[in-house]
Amino acid sequence: MRLRTRALSLALVPALALGLAACGNDASEQDGGGAPTAPASTAAAPLAVTPADRETNVPVSAEIGVKEQGVALTEVTLTDGAGATVEGGLRADGSTWVPADPLAYDTTYTVRATAGDRAATSTFTTMSRPGNRMDAQIFMADGKTYGQAMPIVVEFGQGGVKEADRAAVERRLFVQSDPPQLGVWHWDSDIQVEYRPEKYWQPGTKLTVRLGLGGLPVGGGRYGKVDVDLTASIDTKRREIQVDNATKKMTAVEDGKTLQTYPVSLGKKEAPSFSGTMVIIERLEKTTFDSSTYGVPASSADGYRTDVQYAERLTWSGQFIHAAPWSDADQGRRNVSHGCVNVSTGGGKWIFDWTRVGDPVVIKGTEEQLPVGDGWTAWNMSWEDFKAGSALS
């Protein structure tokens, strides 16, 4: 991945010689006729960079920065012990230069950096490979296409990221969209963070994502295990599923036009479906629902073990859209499910064939609201509330 480099225009303010009007003799007369003394030239102060010169045990996630606040880098060259140049780029504000990949462990690097008319050359040595490392995964596949509401979702392992360490981690989560769309990260919990723009992605958007976590200190003496890089696309069609508990109908909308409407049965009073804006997480043409997976024996009065077709997951807690021929007589009339959206086999197949992972599903009018983090809940809050969940200002 390449990080964008922005050229900075530096406004140079010349020193102005000011003529002072005075009565009496000029300077040459006062000092015996000698030539005026020229002012001493002021050399630019040396540039102090980070990591510091000769620093050791440096994390391989290190960025090249400047110790002084408010000083923007304009150019950085980083070479390894063999003299090979390391690829990378400046952050948009020039605050640091970011290597395109983690640096090598136990390696000495040479930095040549400039900030306007100031320059520095230094060396530093990276740390040995740590033993305590944290995994991270992104819920996207490289090269795949997703629906318009697809958030970029990252899940962390080994205890996740505590609040005190989130800002450092978030600064290393890079997203580029084409066409450009302003977006932000929101921490649902220690283990899940989501990224979205203000509105659904524009049709045909191309996404480039880098989780620059390899070797990054993430708290608790742990370090990120590896970087993750991928590209993905947003579909050119805008699909949305709308479910209304009042009418007990599900409507399929594409590019603002209604394509299909089906009667549905939602969660019964003891196990209501969630209201809110959800996102299709996964699609399973055939699967088995088993209540014992969440602690309710299949043989109990509230238990079940059922083969299901055309299932599309909406929440981690187990709410799906799926075909349910056993509730055909209830669909459009009453709610009898354990929280899922039941639809006929024909309707379930049509919806399944039409949708993609990342399509939004909006359910309204039920007894319970969607909890934050139970699924991909990025769109179930206002833009202001979503931004407030970032660890960065």
Strand partners, 107: none
Catalytic residue list contains 340 = yes
Cα separation, 186 vs 287, in Å, equals 32
- Whole-angstrom Cα distance, residue 228 to residue 287? 30
Report the SS3 class of residue 23.
coil
Alpha-carbon span 349 to 328, nearest angstrom: 14
Question: Residues 23, 186, 322, 338: which is the catalytic one?
Answer: 322
Q: Can you spell out the DSSP letters for 99-159?
A: ESSPPPTT-EEEEEEEETTEEEEEEEEEPPPPS-EE-EEES--TT-EE-TT--EEEEE-TT
What are the CA-CA distances from residue 2 to residues 91, 208, 216, 222, 279 (Å)?
11, 10, 19, 27, 30
CA atoms lying within 13 Å on the CB side of residue 71: 21
- The answer to whether 377 touches 155, Cβ cutoff 8 Å, is no
Residue type, 263: P
Q: What 3-state class would DSSP assign to 6?
A: coil
Which residues, in sequence order, are CB contacts of 12 under 8 Å at separation 6+? none
Are the CB atoms for 240 and 208 separated by under 8 Å? no
All residues at 6 or more sequence positions from 299 whose CB lies less than 8 Å from its CB, including other chains: none
Can you read off the two tokens belonging to residue 151? 């958030």
Q: Could you tell me which of 124, 136, 262 has the C-alpha nearest to residue 192? A: 136
Give buried/exposed letters for 239-249 (b at 16+ CB in 10 A, else e): bbbbbbbeebe
Catalytic pick among 23, 186, 338, 340: 340
Active site residues: 322, 340
